[in-house]
Structure 1
Amino acid sequence: MAAEDQQSSIMEVKDQQNEVLSMLDTAKTQLYHLKAVVISGMGFFTDSYDLFCISLVTKLLGRIYYHVPGSSKPGSLPPSVACAVNGVALCGTLAGQLFFGWLGDKLGRKRVYGLTLMLMVGCSICSGLSFGNSPTTVMATLCFFRFWLGFGIGGDYPLSATIMAEYSNKKNRGAFIASVFAMQGFGILAGGLVTLVISSIFRALYHAEPYSVDPLGSTVPQADYVWRIILMFGAVPAALTFYSRMKMPETPRYTALVAKDQNKACQDMAKVLNLEIKEQSQDNKSSSFGLFSKEFLRRHGKHLLGSAMCWLLLDIAYYSQNLFQKDIFSAVGWLPSASSMSALDELYKIAKAQTLIALCGTIPGYWVTVVLIDRIGRLAIQLIGFFFMTVFMLALAAPYHHWIRPENNIGFIVMYALTFFFANFGPNATTFVVPVEIFPARFRSTCHGISAAAGKLGAIIGAFGFLYAAQNQDPAKADPGYPAGIGMQNALYVLAAINVIGFFFTFLVPESKGKSLEEMSRENEVEVEEQSSIV
């Protein structure tokens, strides 16, 4: 009889908990949904600005710090330095995704959220203040601060995704999470626009003669302020949202399912839904199976493998394209040779090219995903994206020598922009959305962090691998300081093959459209089984 009473009590608490969570799932879109999108999205705006603005200024860094006196050629970063400057933030991001993803499940989403933002603000400023008595020490200081900047950015991935998912209703959850991630496109655009404005101001104030006329005068001393201002600007949007982040309540799902505090979950829900919710019975029992246990691997191992591998493969291609746009544009003749421009002119033209790609391909792709993700589903969008990324990369690679002719380079840029469109109306958005929807609440942030870290491993492979692959395409122009690479054309073939593999790994993850988080993660099913076995 006592056992029956205990089981009855457990089921009553479970019914109350389900009732509370179903109110979140069925809630109409309200102001708090939009506030959560803006607050979380501004973090991603900052993330993408900080990660991608470095690609705009690397050539300027080379001209400032590595010009050889008496040489008629512009200075450039040595290969090892270029790899470090471009990739160190990605290494920090990988570490931050794993650490803060785990911490978000242990301490709660809100308690950790402000720490990541403080790291981003502080390290953005410090990156611009990088100091030293020699080029080597300046670059070392820059890399140190960008690693910790990346560490903070890494924490923003699992926490922003988890918070948005756990606040959302099931009807529009995909659009809300994708909207947060779509702010990445505006961050990339902002990087280009800020660089255009800053370089234009300094060009007007300190105009330099073309490099071919005056090698020393083409890089004015004030150019050293330019890259510092660009990097430090990343602190502004992060600082503006700090107060709002601190005022957000803990997500009711974390409080109810992980912290096991039903009354606090009701209080948090009452704040965001503007409803009167009566206090519930307490259930302090915790589920027993752990991360990477046999039970976890049986239920979710395939899903974690699929989400991690799709993100890894996508980021190899995506970051290869994004971080080295300037090299691709130079290779096809869309950007003039460095020796024909001053340092500030070159920076201006690189920023202009990135801004056009962001406007024409990157941002539209993100927002088409937002509109369609809850209509056609996550997997359909991911499969469409991987398929067309493959098609357009092959279309660039096969007739590559046709595209690099000066009269055809506009066509190359159009095709190149389409690969960005289908990356963002495709796996770049869905790999962010899916991992936060398919795992139990007590592992949700950790598993998203693991999947995201796999993506950043792909980004590191892409950043370092592409730098190697694209070197010395023309033996007559070989730079003895660079290793012989496989060439731009073959690099595009490799990226196309990677997209094909990503297409097939997509089939390992389940479709979550229109389903509650508890239904996708089988959370209630797991807990009922455990409670039955206890009784």
Structure 2
Amino acid sequence: MPREQLQVLNALDVAKTQFYHFTAIVIAGMGFFTDAYDLFAISLCTKLLGRIYYFKDDPKRPGTLPPGVQSAVTGVALVGTLAGQLFFGWLGDKMGRKRVYGLTLILMVTCSLASGLSFGNSPKGVMATLCFFRFWLGFGIGGDYPLSATIMSEYANKKTRGAFIAAVFAMQGFGILISGIFALIVSTSFDHAYKAPSYETNPAASTVPQADYIWRIILMFGAIPAALTYYWRMKMPETARYTALVAKNAKQAAQDMAKVLNVELDPEEAKLERLTEDRANSFGLFSKEFLRRHGLHLLGTTSTWFLLDIAFYSQNLFQKDVFSAIGWIPKAKEMNAVHEVYRIAKAQTLIALCSTVPGYWFTVAFIDIIGRFAIQMMGFFFMTVFMFALAIPYHHWTLRPNRIGFVVMYSFTFFFANFGPNATTFVVPAEIFPARLRSTCHGISAAAGKAGAIVGAFGFLYASQSTDPLKTDPGYPTGIGIRNSLIVLGCINFLGMCFTFLVPEPNGKSLEELSGENEEEGVEPKVENRTVPV
């Protein structure tokens, strides 16, 4: 039987949508804007780095970084993000969401600037310092995942909670979009200022010395939006659910939320004391009780996020290689270094504008109407369908008249990733776990996702540098090729559909109802589990 809810928490659950909700979305969302900008901007710069620093190593393939260097530059931030998600997720439950929130932002600002200032006396030296700073940049980004999701879930009312958390995550789409737009602006400016011939015409002159500024400016720009939101993050009060249920300070929770909601609230210290004395709701993360209550839920959130990110980060970080393989982006020899950045940025911007950003906001619009489960299943299903539709008749799409069709189909995979599991895997872990473990469990789920991103990044790196079985060019090394990698990603998306049945539907329920924190001792929390029909 459910206990009577604390007044301060009930007030948050039933509160009408107010200005503070939108303020919280913007403050938390700007962190995600920066996260996406910093993580995905590197894909705009890797070919330029190859031209600048490794021109002499492989003059027949301009813009190609050595495989080990490219994997490090692309993947090191993801490794840092995974570590940051685990560390800051745990710290957010121990020290409070707000106290840790500013630290992640400081790391992001500092390391964004430092990445653009990477130095060294040799190409290896520059790449080593770039990787060092991008690891710590990723570490700060990692902290933003569990903290932003938890803060937004604990601030929101239960009627529109999914839309608010999804709106924070949707800022990731704008980060990807702005990274492309900013790269277009910078590359266009340099291309007009420093005219250079194509690589085919004059290899040595095709990369002007000033091109070294381009990647540095693009990476450093990511510090600006993060720095602008630092003051407002520090002004946010700690969430009432952490203050009351974890810190056990009912008076402070009531005072903080009374200012936010503009209502009088009773601290109800005696009621809080009775709630927190209940041993049934004091189990730890590694206890049998947690395994019994939430073990399958954690398996569901980690596995689906892991599988989703294999596909999602493969698509995002290496879309330039896919578009080059089908001929949508011209061959590197036909362009100079600056114009190549422009063409890659143009492709990323079009994909983000037409499919990535709309997908996020479709989730925001429908998540509290049709629920998390339906959106996640639908997303995985259509990603599977479109991956196979691209891969099976792959030779058809490589023909010049059909290339636009390939891009359209490929765009749909981005749309249904974002109007699907890329958003819901972020939302659900912030809703279904107890307050004292919420940030930690979200961090674990997100870290599983980044483990998938690392698998996707390194796996697709190998695939993108291998020949397609349908190609016969002896200049390509042997390997599985773009076509077979798309088939593998389709199978991974299908597995994501299967594991989605482990994830409960949180729609319309309070956080305490979902986690069982307001249940009497000995009573199971009533959380609906999905089971695979036999």
Shorter chain as normaliser: what TM range? over 0.9
The residue number in structure 2 matching 1:163 is 151
2:357 matches 1:363: yes
Q: Quick check: 2:206–2:336 contact (8 Å CA) kept in 1? A: yes
Q: Pairwise mapping of residues 352-501 of structure 1 onto structure 2 (< 5 A)?
A: 352-474=346-468, 477=473, 484-501=478-495
Residues 472/529 of structure 1: CA separation in 2 closer, same or farther (3 Å cut)? closer
User: CA-to-partner distance for each residue in 1:444-490, whole Å, 9 max, x for gaps?
Assistant: 0000000000000000000000111232215754668x6x3211111
The residue number in structure 1 matching 2:75 is 87
CA distance in 1, matches of 2:412, 2:503: 26
Deviation at 1:85, TM superposition (A): 0.5
Q: Quick check: 1:472–1:478 contact (8 Å CA) kept in 2? A: no
CA distance in 2, matches of 1:293, 1:87: 34
User: CA-to-partner distance for each residue in 1:270-324, whole Å, 9 max, x for gaps?
Assistant: 1210112233325454643111200000000000000000000000000000000
Aligned partner letter, 2:450 = K
Q: Quick check: 2:119–2:126 contact (8 Å CA) kept in 1? A: yes
SS at match of 2:291: helix
User: CA-to-partner distance for each residue in 1:305-351, whole Å, 9 max, x for gaps?
Assistant: 00000000000000000000100000000011000100001100000
User: CA-to-partner distance for each residue in 1:338-388, whole Å, 9 max, x for gaps?
Assistant: 001000011000000000000111011000000000000000000000000
Deviation at 1:20, TM superposition (A): 2.0
2:261 matches 1:261: no
User: CA-to-partner distance for each residue in 1:129-174, whole Å, 9 max, x for gaps?
Assistant: 0000000010010000000000000000000000000000000000
2:110 matches 1:116: no
CA distance in 2, matches of 1:279, 1:460: 46
Deviation at 1:18, TM superposition (A): 2.3
The residue number in structure 2 matching 1:237 is 225
The residue number in structure 2 matching 1:8 is none
The residue number in structure 2 matching 1:292 is 286
2:142 matches 1:154: yes
Residues 176/527 of structure 1: CA separation in 2 closer, same or farther (3 Å cut)? farther
The residue number in structure 2 matching 1:48 is 36
CA distance in 1, matches of 2:493, 2:261: 42
2:56 matches 1:62: no
Deviation at 1:210, TM superposition (A): 1.4
CA distance in 2, matches of 1:479, 1:137: 30
The residue number in structure 2 matching 1:280 is 268
User: CA-to-partner distance for each residue in 1:110-136, whole Å, 9 max, x for gaps?
Assistant: 000000000000000000000000000
Q: Quick check: 2:46–2:63 contact (8 Å CA) kept in 1? A: no
Aligned residue among 318, 325, 330 for 2:324: 330
2:38 matches 1:19: no
2:202 matches 1:200: no
Deviation at 1:248, TM superposition (A): 0.2
After TM superposition, the score normalised by the length of structure 1 is 0.94
CA distance in 2, matches of 1:368, 1:288: 38
Deviation at 1:19, TM superposition (A): 2.3
SS at match of 1:28: coil
Deviation at 1:83, TM superposition (A): 0.4
2:170 matches 1:182: yes
Q: Quick check: 1:65–1:75 contact (8 Å CA) kept in 2? A: no
CA distance in 1, matches of 2:352, 2:107: 27
User: CA-to-partner distance for each residue in 1:187-246, whole Å, 9 max, x for gaps?
Assistant: 000000000000011111111011111111110000000000000000000000000000
Deviation at 1:261, TM superposition (A): 0.6
Residues 72/444 of structure 1: CA separation in 2 closer, same or farther (3 Å cut)? closer
Residues 302/71 of structure 1: CA separation in 2 closer, same or farther (3 Å cut)? closer
Q: Quick check: 2:86–2:444 contact (8 Å CA) kept in 1? A: yes
2:304 matches 1:316: no
Q: Which runs of 5+ in 1 are unaligned?
A: 1-10, 531-535
CA distance in 2, matches of 1:265, 1:51: 36
Aligned residue among 227, 251, 266 for 2:215: 227
SS at match of 2:94: helix
Deviation at 1:262, TM superposition (A): 0.5
Aligned partner letter, 1:207 = K
CA distance in 2, matches of 1:444, 1:472: 42
Residues 71/174 of structure 1: CA separation in 2 closer, same or farther (3 Å cut)? closer
Deviation at 1:73, TM superposition (A): 4.3
Q: Quick check: 2:8–2:267 contact (8 Å CA) kept in 1? A: no
Aligned partner letter, 1:325 = Q
The residue number in structure 2 matching 1:143 is 131
CA distance in 2, matches of 1:462, 1:477: 26
Identity, % of aligned pairs? Answer: 71
Q: Quick check: 1:366–1:425 contact (8 Å CA) kept in 2? A: yes
Q: How many residues align?
A: 516
Aligned partner letter, 2:350 = L
SS at match of 2:6: helix
Deviation at 1:430, TM superposition (A): 0.2
CA distance in 2, matches of 1:165, 1:70: 50
The residue number in structure 1 matching 2:333 is 339
Q: Quick check: 1:403–1:409 contact (8 Å CA) kept in 2? A: yes
Residues 189/88 of structure 1: CA separation in 2 closer, same or farther (3 Å cut)? same
Q: Quick check: 2:29–2:168 contact (8 Å CA) kept in 1? A: yes
Residues 41/294 of structure 1: CA separation in 2 closer, same or farther (3 Å cut)? same
Q: What do you get for the CA RMSD once the two structures are aligned? A: 1.7
